[in-house]
Amino acid sequence: MTERVRLRPLIVAAAERLATAGVASPLPDAENLAAHVLGVDRMRLALHPMVEPDEAARFTALVEQRSARIPLQHLTGTAAMGEIELAVGPGVFVPRPETELLFAWALAWLETLPHDHDPVVVDLCAGTGALALAIAHARPDARVHAVELDPDALTWTRRNADDRIADGDTPITLHAADVTDPALLSELSGRVDLVVSNPPYIPDGAVLDPEVADHDPHRALFGGPDGLDVIRAMVPTIARLLRPGGATAIEHDDTNGGGVAALLAGAGFADIVEHPDLAGKPRFVVAARHSKP
């Protein structure tokens, strides 16, 4: 009979292997992979001090893949946003923890709306559908629209949207469309309460970690020489979509908070505020539309 294996030494060795490979968060990644293999929450690993030999082998294989800088989320197949988990994999941008801050701001802002109508929310560059689906989950009264152009990403958006419906969430409306199209969602002009976006915003030529450069689709990453090409094209559309009193929140590269703020100011937005990310770097800008464009 094959003996069971102690888990903690496996995790410690895995963390050392990942650190040597240059992984930024070796111990959390090792623990997350162990939790994935065992089918438990990471915080409950201490309740599983021993693992079966086949589980140890699966864990070791995943660690080797992670040491090759395959994204953790591609190995586990999921990423989180708010209270939901999303399916992720090759062909779609993996949602980042930083975007949770934009999501939290969006929910807090929606709470300030009067209760005279169901809020209308638009997510531009939806990718996995993370923001749109997390908002729909948290605010089942909202009518949420998600816009995505890339066919590969749309496959993931639809999969996640179907999964959320199966879990009882309110369906979102998915649009296969280009966020830089000036006529985008013309039927919603002046009717939208909130527009959120995590668009392609990395300046061309930026040096990226292998997890990003080799696995995230470049179409979801790069936003032209200054990183603002997509945002620049979206701002007039956002202004057109929003009702008076509506607001927007746009994620951006940490070099571009001032640039995004300037674009919004030039389009007539007010109450413009730049927000930092978890590391204190500029990460998203919010603004309000007080009058019709």
The binding site for substrate consists of 198-201
Residue whose token pair is 């464009």: 293
Task: Give phi and psi for 247, each to the nearest 5.
Answer: -140, 165
H helices of the chain, in order, are: 7-20, 26-38, 53-67, 72-76, 99-110, 130-138, 151-166, 210-213, 229-241, 257-266
Whole-angstrom distance, CA of residue 45 vs CA of residue 8: 9
Provide the annotated binding site for S-adenosyl-L-methionine: 148, 198
Whole-angstrom distance, CA of residue 74 vs CA of residue 211: 10
Whole-angstrom distance, CA of residue 163 vs CA of residue 154: 14
DSSP 3-state of 247: strand
Q: In 10 A of CB 205, how many CB atoms?
A: 7
Residues with Cβ within 8 Å of residue 259, at least 6 apart in sequence? 226, 227, 228, 252
Q: What is the DSSP letter of 202?
A: B
Provide the annotated binding site: 148, 198-201
